[in-house]
Amino acid sequence: DGGITQSPKYLFRKEGQNVTLSCEQNLNHDAMYWYRQDPGQGLRLIYYSQIVNDFQKGDIAEGYSVSREKKESFPLTVTSAQKNPTAFYLCASSMWTGPPLHFGNGTRLTVT
């Protein structure tokens, strides 16, 4: 749907475990992004990558890590250092020249 696939849709983990969220795009977009969405907080940028093998921290990168080994893929790892990991995570992509952003359907992560 929309060329960006996030999996799984729902994810449950125990506190203290690392978990990796998948994001794949077939839009041939250069840039990929991870956003976190909490009620009343809007979308906050975690990490973004404009080219393969390069990525930058966004506004709330602490407790998260990413990799960009392939243009099509931008997985996000939520580590045990993230204090409040339960949230809705959205992956997006765009051309290098910029927006519009195309979003995936999101992964809802619940950590108990």
Partner 1 sequence: GENVEQHPSTLSVQEGDSAVIKCTYSDSASNYFPWYKQELGKRPQLIIDIRSNVGEKKDQRIAVTLNKTAKHFSLHITETQPEDSAVYFCAASGANLQGGSEKLVFGKGMKLTVNP
Per CB under 8 A, residues contacting partner 1 are: 2, 31, 33, 35, 40-45, 48, 50, 58, 90, 94, 96-106
Minimum CB separation of residue 27 from partner 1 in Å reads: 14
The CB-of-80 to partner 1 minimum distance in angstroms stands at 27
Closest CA to 109 of 27, 3, 1, 17: 17
- Phi, psi (5° rounding) for residue 49? -140, 130
CB of 111 to partner 1, least distance (A): 19
Q: Where do the DSSP E strands lie in 26-103?
A: 31-38, 42-51, 54-57, 64-66, 76-78, 87-95, 98-103
Please identify, using beta-carbon distances, which residue of 55 and 85 lies nearer to partner 1: 55
The secondary structure of residue 70, as a DSSP letter, is: B
Residue 18 vs 105, nearer CB to partner 1: 105
